[in-house]
Amino acid sequence: MKIQYLIDTQLSPELEALDFVDRYGGLVKTMNILMPTDGDNTIQKRYPVACNVSAKDCENTGIYQNLVPDDSKKSVVYWEEVTPMQNAGYTQLRDFYTKKMIGTARLVVWLNLNKLGIDNCTDAILTLPPIEKIITKKINIIGGVYDTNLFMVQPKGMVKKSPKNIFGKYTYPDNAQYYLYPFDYYAIDVQFELHQCLKKGGVFPVNPSVDCFNK
């Protein structure tokens, strides 16, 4: 929950604005879908979906394909939570109420080199520095839930590159063509650190209920 908020407010606007980012999902969740096969049989498939996908979207199978690599997309970029934010003790201020919260998320990037105008198998790395710049920050947050809190984010390292290692949890096409030239992919594990003042607390405003399913 905290990592998702930090991604949405501090990182997603810049990542989504990159010229080479086509489909951006933010922090995804894994959706398990029962799909019909021949006869009365069904098969369970797993897809990464954005946080705003809900049960009312179940009839729209296109939504589940939004973040699946295929040759119609320029690129696919999304986050996965690896380790939720956890209390790592006092900050340097030695203030009991200000805690250092640390967690890890993984940024997954899949690229369609042809659609990005790249005609070789090496220049995919040109997409990495702009991303690393965005995911390397040390700032005091302005506004929102964690106003004035110190926020630091930085890459921990590249994830071992293999389709099974990066995409294995999902029901992606078995065809290896989407992982070989003219396609490419990588993933980065990213460390999040928030120096949160727990004493500040906050107020949750209770508003009238929203009947989303009827809209």
Q: What's the rounded Cα separation, in Å, for the pair 138 and 161?
A: 28
Supply the pLDDT for residue 177: 81
In a domain, 212, yes or no: no
More reliable by pLDDT, 45 or 111: 111
Segment 73-97 shows an average pLDDT of: 88
Each residue of 88-115: pLDDT tens digit? 987 776 677 889 999 999 999 999 999 9
Q: Which of 16-30, 53-67, 201-215 has the highest mean pLDDT?
A: 16-30
Q: What's the rounded Cα separation, in Å, for the pair 39 and 106?
A: 39
More reliable by pLDDT, 92 or 32: 32
Over 50: is that where the pLDDT of 120 sits?
A: yes
User: What number of CA atoms fall less than 13 Å from residue 189's CA on the CB side?
Assistant: 13
51 in Cβ contact with 79 (< 8 Å): no
Supply the pLDDT for residue 9: 97
Over 60: is that where the pLDDT of 215 sits?
A: no
Bridge partner list, 110: 76, 185
In a domain, 205, yes or no: no
Q: What's the Cα-to-Cα distance from 59 to each of 38, 56, 69, 177, 182, rounded to whole Å?
A: 19, 7, 21, 29, 33
In a domain, 58, yes or no: yes
What whole-number percentage of the chain has pLDDT above 90?
Answer: 63
The model's pTM is 0.88
Each residue of 150-197: pLDDT tens digit? 999 999 999 999 999 999 999 876 667 889 999 999 999 999 999 998
The domain spanning residue 184 has which CATH number? 3.30.2000.10
Domain residues for 187? 2-200
Report residue 153 as tokens: 């984010």
Bridge partner list, 29: 49
Supply the pLDDT for residue 56: 59
DSSP 213: G
In a domain, 156, yes or no: yes
In a domain, 214, yes or no: no
Segment 73-86 shows an average pLDDT of: 97
Backbone φ, ψ for residue 89 (5° rounding)? 105, -170
Q: What's the Cα-to-Cα distance from 199 to each of 28, 171, 202, rounded to whole Å?
A: 30, 44, 9
What integer best gives the mean pLDDT of the chain? 88
Structurally, the chain folds into a number of domains equal to 1
Over 90: is that where the pLDDT of 34 sits?
A: no
Each residue of 128-141: pLDDT tens digit? 999 999 999 999 99
Supply the pLDDT for residue 73: 95
53 in Cβ contact with 78 (< 8 Å): no
pLDDT band of residue 214 (cuts 50, 70, 90) is very low
Supply the pLDDT for residue 58: 53
In a domain, 207, yes or no: no
Over 70: is that where the pLDDT of 213 sits?
A: no
In a domain, 144, yes or no: yes
In a domain, 150, yes or no: yes
Q: Residues 6 or more apart from 210 whose CB is under 8 A from it?
A: none
* DSSP secondary structure of 181-206: TTEEEEEEEEEEEEEEEGGG------
Supply the pLDDT for residue 60: 58
Report residue 23 as tokens: 């489909």
